[in-house]
Amino acid sequence: MPRLAAWINARFKATIYEDPYSPFCLLADNNADAGVIHEYLDGYCRGVPPLTVVRNDVYTRLAHADYNKGSALAEIARRQGLGPEHIFAAGDHLNDLPMLLQSRARWLATNANAIGPVKDSVRRAGGYVSRHRHGRGVADALGHFLELAKGK
């Protein structure tokens, strides 16, 4: 971790800290810096399996690859006795991608302010990309899927 912190601190204005869930957390000054740092951390993680980068906007942390929003959603579903056919999932950033899969949820959605890779992933999976932003986009997606369900 000191090597990572030194590389980042020499090049960017960022806050590096740890929390109970990760020994390495980062708050970048802006998205451009966060993107460059993310690429560097991805390279580092390739050499330390199963470590991975989890990013949402300017926030980044290192985590075990098996623990993400997708595995959390799967565990909640398992505990509730639900299969993916009964689950709706919506997200807007990179940390949501492991959850936005047909193997995790039947109904996948994102909103207008989602980043490109999330919109692309949802579209490829046959999900819904709302033209509305934030919570209104999620509500729109729920309405879309409820209308589809009524038509069946």
- Residues of the chain where predicted confidence (pLDDT) is lower than 50: none
With beta carbons less than 8 A apart as the criterion, state whether 91 and 69 touch: yes
CATH superfamily, with its number, for domain 69-150: HAD superfamily/HAD-like (3.40.50.1000)
Look at residue 21 in the predicted model and tell me its pLDDT: 86
What's the order of all strands across the beta sheet hosting 107-110? 88-90, 107-110, 128-129
Domain boundaries in the chain?
A: 2-64, 69-150
Share of the chain above pLDDT 90, in %: 95
Check residue 81 and give left, alpha or beta (phi > 0: left; psi -120 to 50: alpha). Answer: left
Burial class for 60, CB neighbours closer than 10 Å (0-12, 13-18, 19+): buried
- pLDDT score, position 136: 98
